[in-house]
Amino acid sequence: MPWFVQAAIAGATSFIATNIDDIVILMLFFAQVDATFRPKHIFIGQYLGFTVLVALSLPGFFGGLVVPKEWIGLLGLIPIAIGIKQLLDHQTNGTESQTVTEALYYPEAAQSNRFGASLFAPPTVQVATITIANGGDNVGIYVPLFASSSLPSLSIILAVFFVMVSVWCCIAYQLTQHPMVAQVLTRRSSAIVPFVLIGLGLFILLDSETYRLLRG
Q: Over the stretch 130-163, which tens digit does the pLDDT of each residue have? A: 888 777 778 888 888 888 888 899 999 999 999 9
What's this model's pTM, rounded to 2 decimal places?
0.67
Q: Band the pLDDT of 111: cuts 50, 70, 90.
A: very low
**Measured distance CA(9)–CA(137) in Å, rounded:** 19
pLDDT of amino acid 73: 73
pLDDT of amino acid 162: 95
Which letter does DSSP use for residue 176 in this model?
A: T
Q: Most confidently modeled of 86-90, 91-95, 100-104? A: 86-90
The residues spanned by each domain of the chain are 3-211
Burial class (CB in 10 A: 0-12, 13-18, 19+), 137: buried
Over residues 165-191, the pLDDT tens digits come to 999 999 888 887 776 765 665 566 567
Assess whether pLDDT exceeds 70 at residue 47.
Answer: yes
**Measured distance CA(41)–CA(46) in Å, rounded:** 8
pLDDT of amino acid 200: 72
pLDDT of amino acid 11: 92
- Residue ranges of the alpha helices (H) in 20-135? 22-31, 39-57, 59-64, 69-72, 77-88, 92-105, 107-111, 122-133
Q: Counting runs of H as helices and runs of E as strands, what totals does the chain give?
A: 12, 0
Closest CA to 41 of 132, 110, 135, 122: 122
Q: Which residues in 89-119 are b (16+ Cβ under 10 Å) and which e? A: eeeebeebbeebeebbeebeebeeeeeeeee
pLDDT of amino acid 15: 92
**Measured distance CA(131)–CA(138) in Å, rounded:** 10
What is the CA 180 to chain-centroid distance, rounded? 24
